[in-house]
Amino acid sequence: MKVSFKRGAAAGAGVAILVLMASRSAATAQSLSAGQQDFEQECRANSLFSTYHDCSCVASRLEPLRPSPGDKPKRVELGQLPAGECMAPRQVIYANNFQTCTAILKPARKDWESVCTCSTAKVVDAYFARPFLSVDHIGDLHREALKACSQFRKGDPS
C-alpha cells in the first residue's frame, strides 16, 4: 500500500488530503479462484465493508470456509473469520472516515476540522479495540465519538 499526503486548493487552507493507493499484485489476483475474485469485487463495491476490511485478504480466506469446492461464498461465512482478521490498515479506515465526516460537517460547522480529526481518531481506536462489522456498531462508534469530541448545538448533525 502506498500512502502519500497532498495539499491543494480543494483541501482548503492548510488541510492535507490523505491519498491512499492500494494495489494487489498480479500474482495475488491469479491465486484467487473465480469465486473469490467475484467476492473481492463485490467487497470493494461495498463502501462500509471495504472501509474496514482488506477485501483481498477476506476473499483469500473464503475458500476454506465453503461447505464444498466450487460453491459461491456466502455472506454469513464472513462471521466465521476471527475478530480482527483481514482488517484494513488504520490509515485507510482513518482516511475514509475523515472524508465522510468532512463531507457532512464542513458545510454545517466552523469547527468541522477539529471535530472530524478528534472523532475519526476515536472511531478508529474504538473499532480496533472491538472490530465488529455491523451498521449498528459502526453507527454507535460514530455517535459516541462525536459526542466526546463536540458539543452539539440544536440543528447540528449528530
pLDDT of 150? 82
Give the model confidence (pLDDT) of 6-58 as tens digits. Answer: 333 333 333 333 333 333 434 445 577 777 888 888 888 988 888 998 988 88
What is the spatial distance between Cα 86 and Cα 75, in angstroms, rounded to a whole number?
15
Residue 71 has pLDDT above 50, yes or no: yes
pLDDT of 114? 95
Phi, psi angles (nearest 5°) of residue 156? -75, 145
Structural domain boundaries in the chain:
2-19+89-149, 32-80
Average pLDDT over residues 66-70: 60
For residues 93 and 49, the answer to whether their CB atoms sit within 8 Å is no
At residue 72 the predicted structure's pLDDT band, cuts being 50, 70 and 90, is low
pLDDT of 15? 34
What is the spatial distance between Cα 68 and Cα 89, in angstroms, rounded to a whole number?
31
At residue 81 the predicted structure's pLDDT band, cuts being 50, 70 and 90, is low
At residue 61 the predicted structure's pLDDT band, cuts being 50, 70 and 90, is confident
Residue 146 has pLDDT above 80, yes or no: yes
pLDDT of 119? 96
